[in-house]
Copies of this chain bind each other. A is one copy, B any other.
Amino acid sequence: MSKTTHKKIDSKGFTVWFTGLACSGKSTLADALVPILKKKGFKVERLDGDIVRQSLTKDLGFSVEDRRKNIERVAFVAKMLTRNDVVVLATFISPEIGMRDNARKEIGNFVEVYVKCSVEGCMKRDVKGMYKKALAGQIKDFTGVHASAPYEEPPNPELVVDTEKISIEDGVKQVLSKLVELGYIKP
């Protein structure tokens, strides 16, 4: 997937797709961007697992097949919003290259941000105790912990934010700079 595939459709909208392990910092980054982008005049929607799994995908679990369906449905919603001038900040582990590339193709204006953090780093921030439960076998198919659920690093994302090395503030700046560079927002 080449970086040149972004900015395909004629819309003010775009989707920033944050991918990475649980507790890598995806939601923290996206949440911090909401008021900044709203202040710039954009309509903004957050899409994340907690939101969509209450309604759109409440029938789905965390198997590979269900994760793919989850991302497919989210991509449909993001496509609809993006082509209607809305900025979508989507935060999903979305562990497979294929599912992310499908989302990219469907949505068009797609900015993939790999929120990079080692499993060990994520475990240190394990606010909900999910890694603990996964290691104890109380959660199955936990990405990055179980062999059944590997995380495929993006080979060519628009941006990598390494949250073990930089602060959230700097991560937000990196995303904004990238959006300026790609022509989605003004400086």
A contact residues vs B (CB 8 Å cutoff) = 43, 45, 52, 55-56, 59, 69, 72-73, 76-77, 80-81, 84-86
List of B residues within 8 angstroms of A77 by Cβ: 56, 76-77, 80
Residue from the list B56, B72, B84 in contact with A86, Cβ < 8 A: B84
- The answer to whether B55 touches A72 (Cβ under 8 A) is yes
**Which residue of B has the minimal Cβ distance to A60?**
B59
Complex CA distance for A72 and B52, rounded to whole angstroms? 12
When the two chains form their complex, are residues A69 and B59 in contact, meaning their CB atoms are under 8 A apart? yes
Starting from the known contacts A43-B85, A77-B80, 14 additional A-B residue pairs (CB-CB under 8 Å) come to A43-B84, A45-B84, A55-B72, A55-B73, A55-B76, A56-B77, A76-B77, A80-B80, A80-B81, A81-B81, A81-B84, A84-B84, A84-B85, A84-B86
15 contacts between A and B (CB under 8 A): A43-B84, A43-B85, A45-B80, A55-B72, A55-B73, A56-B73, A56-B77, A59-B69, A73-B73, A76-B77, A77-B80, A80-B80, A80-B81, A81-B81, A84-B86
A43 to B84 alpha-carbon distance, docked (Å): 7
What B residues does A81 contact at CB under 8 A? 80-81, 84
